Structure formats: C-alpha cells, structure tokens
Chains A and B, each alone.
Chain A
Amino acid sequence: SQELEQSPQSLIVQEGKNLTINCTSSKTLYGLYWYKQKYGEGLIFLMMLQKGGEEKSHEKITAKLDEKKQQSSLHITASQPSHAGIYLCGADRAGTASKLTFGTGTRLQVTL
C-alpha cells in the first residue's frame, strides 16, 4: 500500500496569514488529490495533480506536485475562517487497480 504522511497534523493560524500543508509519499505518486472536509461531512474536491512539477490554483489555494512526484504541498494565501476544516491528500495508482487512499489529514483552525 502507499503510505501518505501529512504535516502538520494540526494547524492554528490567524485570519489573513498564509499557511502550507505538506503531503509526502513513500512511493512515486501517480494521481495526487487534495480534499477538504468539515468534520462529519463529505469531502470537497479541491485539486488533482498528475504531472511532476505541476501547479494548480483556485481562488486562494495553490497545490504543487514536485518533479519526483513524491511530495505535494497545499498553500493557502490570506486565510479566512471559511478555510477551516480537515485537509486530506489522497493518491491513486494509474491502471486498472486504481483506488484512492488517504494521508493522515491536517486539521486547520483559523482564528479571528
């Protein structure tokens, strides 16, 4: 199985501050997905990265996948209370046995 480690496990930031969440794999990633979850609710898709060196942005969130495809980062600029939640990175393997497994998760709190 593919081990995905996220850091930090939890994060408290003041509104307006920037933050970065990291996701590291013990194996080369093929598809890397970032999701956000409110506790006890479903997952909200944020971004999918597939190519080494790829970078995507949506509103104030930017995700990157390194060239070796073993590490991804999620960066939030000028955080807002609406960014609070659990951020999960997930990875799958290309091919017929594709399935999505998740990292350990990062709990983000944004204070006023």
Chain B
Amino acid sequence: GAVVSQHPSWVICKSGTSVKIECRSLDFQATTMFWYRQFPKQSLMLMATSNEGSKATYEQGVEKDKFLINHASLTLSTLTVTSAHPEDSSFYICSASWGTGYGYTFGSGTRLTVV
C-alpha cells in the first residue's frame, strides 16, 4: 500500500531557530501533498496544499513566511518552520494524494517543541 514517511518524529529546538520537516512518499508519486497542524485534544487543521513544482496554497490565517513549504519532487515535500517560537510548538502531520478520488495517506507526524 501507499506509504508516507515523515521525519523527524519529534524535534526540540531553541526559540529563533528554524526547523525542517520532511515528508516522502515511498512507493508512489504524490501529485499533491498537504500539511496539517494539530493542537492537543483538537482536530487536524489544514495549513497548506502543495503541488510538485509550484507554490504552495496556504489556508487563511497561515503565515506563508513562517511556514515555508517546498515540493521539489513528486516524492518529497518539506515544511520549514522559520524563526520558531514556543507558540509554534505543535504536532505537524503531512499527507499525500496521488489523484482525486484515490484517497490520502498520512505520515506519522512530527512533534515540535520550541523552548
């Protein structure tokens, strides 16, 4: 089945530094990848949608300069949290789709803690 690998699974960084999270589709080409954020005891909030080779589409209220998304190939998308602050601490999870109507596969998530 379709597998999405997300790394790292957890990361602790100092306030003001940047953190990169990778999302790879291992056995299929992901035409579209999605990035979500999840606060404790809450549902997943879609942050942005990225298509290979084009700029990401951000949801309303999501800072483009804070959360940089790069989808350089059909198997890799990265989310960089720039100048991280404690309020950016959260669970980030990616998802990949290989086409409309074919469903979505999720990574295992990354727990970011900014100290």
Contact = CB atoms under 8 A, between A and B. Distances in A.
Contact of B43 (A40, A88, A96): A88
Given A100-B34, A100-B95, A101-B46, A33 B107 contact: no
A94 B102 CA distance: 11
Contacts of B36: 102
Contacts of A92: 100, 104
A109 to B, nearest CB: 13
A45 B105 contact: yes
Interface string B26-49: 000000101010000111111001
**8 closest cross-chain pairs (CB), A and B:** A42-B108, A43-B106, A105-B43, A98-B100, A102-B44, A102-B43, A42-B106, A42-B109
Size bracket, chain A contacts: 20 to 34
Size bracket, chain B contacts: 20 to 34
A43 B46 contact: no
A41 interface: yes
Contact of A103 (B43, B91, B105, B107): B43
Given A94-B100, A100-B34, A100-B104, A40 B109 contact: yes
A95 B100 contact: yes
Interface string B86-107: 0000010101010011011111
A99 interface: yes
A62 interface: no
B34 A99 contact: yes
Given A41-B109, A99-B34, A33 B44 contact: no
A105 B42 contact: yes
A96 B100 contact: yes
Contacts of B107: 42
